[in-house]
Amino acid sequence: MPISFQRVVVTGGAGFLGSQVVLQLMSAGCKEVFVVRSSEYDLREQAQIRRLIKDRKPDLVIHLAAVVGGIGANQENPGRFFYDNLVMGTMLMDECHRAGVNKFVGVGTICSYPKFTPVPFREQDLWNGYPEETNAPYGLAKKMLIVQAQAYREQYGFNAVNLLPVNLYGPEDNFDPASSHVIPALILKCQNALDSGAAEVTVWGDGTPTREFLYVSDAARGIVLAAENYNAPGPVNLGSGFEISIRELAELIAKFVGFDGKIVWDRTKPNGQPRRLLDVSLAKQAFGFEAQVSFEEGLKKTVEWYRAHRMQLEPAAHGRS
């Protein structure tokens, strides 16, 4: 059945990535797209998942709902990040199988890869070691959904697929310093320093780790392409194929914000995974996905969006960092 004729349920569909996925689905001609909100359906409760499926009768479920955050949030909430993410995904997938949902698209995390994965990360390297310790509970919870999807495909013929996006960024990202990821956190730090006239900003680690980033609308397009065209058991990387060090990233963000002070590196804080760069060839081969937005273009758009909306944002509007 073409995706435009399917009833689609998107968990986390009101979030940073989810809202973009919903827009992509509508662009693909989907007429029935339901956004799951936690206030209406708590996905940690089996009865509420069953009610969701009974109410909406989906043909396709795209599971984006997750409890996420940066290194600090992961260190403060390892139990919650493990339990909530595992329970939501496991019960939702099981109930979709039991109800005869045609397809389940699970969106995992780059944090599932081993700490010292050879660069570029290839999908076949996913099981060759333990994830980086600061976010291992979250990464492993998401990783178990790959196991579940493959087991359900083998035993029940259930069409569940998994995607592994890199770090996302873009307008409408989370700028709460208690839970934000590296790009919004650095934008906020530099902007606050610029506003207050501070001479320096302090950044965690030593700046040597590298990261790959994918613009949020590119990620959403990749997810919808996979929902339409990918039906195999193996997980697939979604990335841009571009690697940048945290030091270079901080300097670039400072430049775009207009902060010309000193960047101080707090080496008592963890660096996280040493390097992250994906092999993105399978996504191109399997369902024709390639990133379109260059990193500098996307970063400029993100900074511009934040500066235009920062007075409306909480708690960033009050300069807490």
Distance between CA atoms of residues 152 and 144, nearest Å:
12
Is there a catalytic annotation at residue 138? yes
Main-chain phi, psi angles of 216, to 5 degrees: -60, -35
pLDDT of residue 309: 92
3-class DSSP state of 25:
helix
Q: Where are the alpha helices (DSSP H) in 129-280?
A: 136-156, 182-196, 216-229, 246-257
Q: pTM here? A: 0.92
Express the helix, strand and coil content of the chain in percent, nearest 5 each.
50, 15, 35
Candidate list 41, 113, 130, 138, residue with the active-site label: 138
Integer CA distances (angstroms), 162 to 79, 86, 167, 238, in order: 23, 14, 16, 10
Give tens-digit pLDDT for 93-108.
999 999 999 999 999 9
Distance between CA atoms of residues 175 and 313, nearest Å:
8
Mean pLDDT by 10-residue block, N- to C-terminus, for the chain (321 residues)? 95 96 97 96 98 98 90 89 97 98 97 94 97 93 98 98 96 87 94 95 95 97 98 98 96 97 95 91 98 97 95 56 34
Domain ranges (residues) in the chain: 3-168+213-238
* 3-168+213-238: CATH, from 3.40.50.261, 1.10.3720.10, 3.40.50.720, 3.20.20.140: 3.40.50.720
Distance between CA atoms of residues 267 and 71, nearest Å:
14
> Residue 208 in contact with residue 271, Cβ under 8 Å?
yes
